[in-house]
Amino acid sequence: MTTTQSGPITHDAGETFEVRSPIDGSVAARLPLHGPDHVAAAAARLRAAQPAWEDLGPKQRCKYLLQWLDWIMDNERRLLDLVQKESGKSWGDTSFESVVAVQIINYVAKHAPKWLADVKVKPDGLLNKTKRLKVHARPYPLVGVITPWNFPLTMPLLDIPFALAAGAAVLSKPSEVTPLAWSEAARGWQEIGAPHVLECVTGLGATGAAVVDQVDMIQFTGSTRTGRAIAVRAAERLIPASLELGGKDAMIVLDDADLDRAVNGAVWGGLFNAGQVCISVERLYVHEGIYDEFVSRVSEKVAAIRQGTDTDHSFTNDIGAMATPAQVDIVDKHVQDALAKGARVLTGGTRGEVGNYYAPTVLVDVDHNMACMTEETFGPTLPIMKVGSEEEAVRLANDSPYGLAGSVWSRDAKRAEALAKRLDTGGVTLNNALTGVAQMGVPFGGWKSSGMGARNGGAYSVRKYTRQQALVGERVAMKSEMNWYPTTPENAGKMAKAVRLLGMHDWRRRFGKPAR
């Protein structure tokens, strides 16, 4: 493969698919369209290498992960150029993707060895006193990781280091829209001389489906529609599926919020990555007491956002293109639907003439009859609705099939937290947006149609890629035990007495006295 920034990247053999530049629609690359046979062969190679990987133990495995991190950072500029080429992001949004590599890999390398150690468990009840109990974690041999296009490097990196640290081999499938940077990062794993426990296959949805057919556990991030199809197939194969799906996050701004912070946070939370973040601010509920000022300041700030793709790495654009023309169509459809139903655009509301650009947009006079307030937009829009009370804000925020995250803005920490606990979402940020996903110590996962399971959260981040093996030993190993054969009335009687004596809660039942 060649990795120049000018012409298309090409591969030699077999069927291919095109990757198009979001900047101008030109063909940026052609990559192999891997079919089921290729995927099965990759799975077989990974399965062959996995037992030795598991035997290495977590410390040695983490050494390879840290070596890989060095490689990623040594090749940072080249990888980020690929991210920008395939996603059309501004350089500021692009640069964020290597930060995640540093955070995740350091985190997992620091903690995985202790998280994977056997856990001793105290036996329950006097009858089990003589048991020696341990829980041992063994990896799923082969984990599939299927990812979307919004963060070409970040998305695979949020999962794969944890699975590798757990001792699993990983078959990864990046989005067909943005496969370039990740294919190269996965090649880096081979280049550092690490065992062959990570492979990247490329292709469309069918390639993803072939991955699901080969693996022992699937970690998926993407749309609710695809997640549901994967859950069905996983159920047929009886393999676990961890699903991170779509969202429609609400931002609730109370009347006592720090207005400067709320305005700046709304604009960043709604527009970062051109709004293509699963936990973007997708809809806002603002208390009537501050609504007018909030709306006017947000509009002013959004109108000043600089849009474009600064391929010269100059940080002169705030937000870039959207990944696909289809995504621009969805955004425009939501805006047009809102306008047709009586909403007003205060700024933006137009698509670019060339490339996948949509101007950052503020919508007001919106309500829940409009798609912009109920369906995932995944674009640079801020639809703002006035609310008269906390009650109304909570009711509207919870009026959604999604339950990924949300945010509450107030100077009163107790008030904000109490309100946050009433939201039906897997996470809530207080006086901030988007930051929940970066907190590795707490679970990140969606409720309702936003997902199943959680992406990470302390020890769970690694242990989710393992199966729990219960080791039940004996402290005192007698020649025989009371309930072993032959059964006798004496032993059965002693057992029955012991069960009552140790398990009942009053003296009459403990000594088996008849009921009065």
Q: Which residues of the chain form contacts with ligand NAD (CB under 6 A)?
A: 146-150, 173, 175-176, 204-205, 208-209, 212, 221-223, 226, 229-230, 244-247, 278, 376, 378, 404, 446, 451
What six digits make up the tokens of 228? 């549901």
Q: For residues 75 and 442, give the distance between their C-alpha atoms in angstroms, rounded to a whole number.
A: 30
Identity of the amino acid at 403: G
Cβ proximity to ligand NAD, 58 vs 445, nearer residue? 445
How many C-beta atoms surround the C-beta of residue 380 within 10 A? 26
Residue matched to tokens 């970040």? 154
Instruction: Report the nearest approach of ligand NAD to the CB of residue 149 (Å).
Output: 5
Q: For residues 180 and 203, give the distance between their C-alpha atoms in angstroms, rounded to a whole number.
A: 12
Q: Is the separation of the CB atoms in 86 and 152 below 8 Å?
A: yes
Instruction: Report the nearest approach of ligand NAD to the CB of residue 431 (Å).
Output: 22
Cβ proximity to ligand NAD, 195 vs 451, nearer residue? 451
Instruction: Report the nearest approach of ligand NAD to the CB of residue 297 (Å).
Output: 28
Torsion angle of the four alpha carbons 48, 51, 54, 55, in this order, in degrees rounded to the nearest 10:
-130
Instruction: Report the nearest approach of ligand NAD to the CB of residue 237 (Å).
Output: 12
Percentage helix, strand, coil for the chain under 3-state DSSP, each rounded to 5: 40, 20, 40
Q: For residues 160 and 372, give the distance between their C-alpha atoms in angstroms, rounded to a whole number.
A: 33
Cβ proximity to ligand NAD, 242 vs 309, nearer residue? 242
Q: Which residue is nearest to ligand NAD (CB)?
A: 208
Active-site residue, 54 included: no
Q: For residues 405 and 23, give the distance between their C-alpha atoms in angstroms, rounded to a whole number.
A: 30
Whether cis (ω within 30° of 0) applies to the bond prior to 486 is: yes
Q: Is the separation of the CB atoms in 382 and 281 below 8 Å?
A: yes
| Catalytic site residue from 54, 184, 199, 244 | 244
Identity of the amino acid at 400: S
Q: For residues 393 and 4, give the distance between their C-alpha atoms in angstroms, rounded to a whole number.
A: 50
Cβ proximity to ligand NAD, 206 vs 499, nearer residue? 206
Instruction: Report the nearest approach of ligand NAD to the CB of residue 277 (Å).
Output: 7
φ/ψ of 387, rounded to 5, equals -125, 150
Instruction: Report the nearest approach of ligand NAD to the CB of residue 434 (Å).
Output: 11
Cβ proximity to ligand NAD, 116 vs 198, nearer residue? 198
Cβ proximity to ligand NAD, 241 vs 387, nearer residue? 241
500-504 LR contacts (CB < 8 Å, sep 24+): 502/125, 502/126, 502/127, 503/125
Q: Which residues participate in catalysis according to the annotation?
A: 244
